[in-house]
Structure 1
Amino acid sequence: MAVLLLLALRVRTRVSVEALALTVLVTYVIQGLLGAGGYSPTGVLAVTLFTVVVVVGTALRGRREARAQLVEQTTLTAEERTRRTLLEERSRIARELHDVVAHHMSVISIQAQVAPHLVENPPDELKENLAGIRENALEALTELRRVLGVLRSEHPGPGEPAGPDGGIAGHAPQPTLDRLDALVENTRAAGREVITEINGERRPLPPGVELSAYRIVQEALSNVLRHAPGARATVRLTYQPDGLEVEVVNGRPTGPAPPSTGAGHGLLGMRERVAMLGGTMTAHPWHWDGFKVTAFLPDVPPADAPGTARSTENTTDPRGGTS
């Protein structure tokens, strides 16, 4: 019985059945054909127990394999969900990059082409400089299209999902910090208390920085609505000489969070944006079951950006303190 149980647990069902059949045959030969005087037959009981052991061992092995397959499938599903989320975020960044940068580069190219015609007898040096500006703008547009092609290498194509502002994500106007008040009011309309603080002298920032800051606040407030029922949130923007610091903090929720149907990868999208701008970001629990998201977006990306920015949990910002 022990040998059959080990076989059933470790080998295929066919091998276990063959071993059981061989055991039954040996039992029949020894007891039924050879026999012995003055013995008590136990073959039927033995064969029954052998069969039960093989069935139980096969069932346990099948359950173990099914559990292993389930774990593997769950892991693959989580990886696929993460990959899909990152691809969707890359496509969204590509759309926004096109709207923010390509438009301005096209305007520069057209203005450089038209400028010589606005001046009577423009000097040759001016024409050459304007021609160089136009040529550089066109080269930048070519490189931008190449980068966008890489970001959209696995673009979902037609039927892409609608953006968070409504409408088709690829054609919706891209928001900036000018629409932050409307975003906060929408959160307040959902029954949450939101406090907005702006520190430092407010100034225009590059479109990519303002767009990323808006998206970070948007995603952080969405997480508060989903995962922190009844919690008060604070949105704090700090204008610094070298960039913008965005901080969203929520307090302790007043009740259990409802089940979430989302992919749960909003923080990944935030980190993608921050890394692209060469900034830093942290997201970690805060006092008394709260949560804090802080991101620093540099006004001028460092020389090694993008792709080398730090984006870790509980990272100490070089300017001092935790960011």
Structure 2
Amino acid sequence: MNGRRVPAGLVDAALVAVALLDVWVHLDADEPLRLAFAVGAAFALLLRRRLPLLTFVLTLPAILLSAAIFAGVVALYSLATLSRNRVMLGFCVLAYAICDMSSWPSPEIDLSDTSTLITLGYTTATAAAAVFLGQLVQTRRDLSLRLAEISEARDHERMLTDQSVLAKERAQLAREMHDVVSHQVSLIAVRAGALQVSSPDAEVKEAAATIRGLSVQTLQELRHMVDVLRASGGRPTELTPQPSLADLRQLVEGSGIEAELRTDLPNGLSPAVQRAIYRTVQEALTNVRKHAPGAAATVSIRHQGGTVRVTVTNSAPTRPALPLPSARYGLVGLHQRAALLGGTVTSDPTADGGYELHLELPDDGRA
């Protein structure tokens, strides 16, 4: 086994073929009405992935008029794999059982007859088995998605941990170079300068000048290396450019969720305001991915009357959220950042089960 999945089109074609075989076994050509509904039900299986409920409804006449029930069972199974509405699935089981028990156009259902009750139980069990199997497949699919998300979250957490350890080591190395090596090289330069001034020997003065020049050059290179190490350790310097509005589209497109960016911001906003907008959108999209799996998000950024308004709205989740660990400091940090710039951050659930985060900032970037 190589783990390759059978193409969906091939599976659907096979199911239609089996349904047509079921029609051929149970129906005769001298029953055109029943034959037409049964054949229609067989070909309706081609819609089972996109329109599962409609597919099941299209198979009910065939179940009602004939003994060709294979298409109806497959349609009910397909509906159960794609729907989470268990009340609707229960009504579908009931509809299947009633149609299968009826002998149209003269239905005769005598519940006082023991054989009728046995047949009803068998028919209901057949429909219920299809629903239970479909729900099992849906649960397995959801579990696979959860495991994939957990694995991705663990890999991301491991990467962040490695980066944090590396940043601490670089920061410690930068401190050591600054406090020890740079200090000692500075002393060498000072002593060489003093020797250059005080020595009467021309060769000694020349050697002292060389030592002093090399020490100063080494000291400059050390300071540059310290700046690089500190930048790698997470400290903001000119070597680590901070995000701006130019990076927003890449952030939205790489968020891992279905997101749309709408913006009409002018050029010239202060770097602090641009960073606040970027971090707000980044935190909001991270929360959507973590707490609303399957939801779509819209990022709207507007500039009006000297105020920048950022709104990130997401729809209701389509899957249960994972119980991932959270420090719950993201929104707190956004509130603090906005307050330092004279702005506000608000967040509330929406009427359709989604969530909305709103940021307002003055565009002067005052801190």
**Common fold, TM-score beyond 0.5?**
no
Q: Which has the higher contact order (CA 8 A, sep 6+)?
A: 1
Higher helix fraction: Structure 1 or Structure 2? 2
TM-score, length-normalised on structure 1?
Answer: 0.40
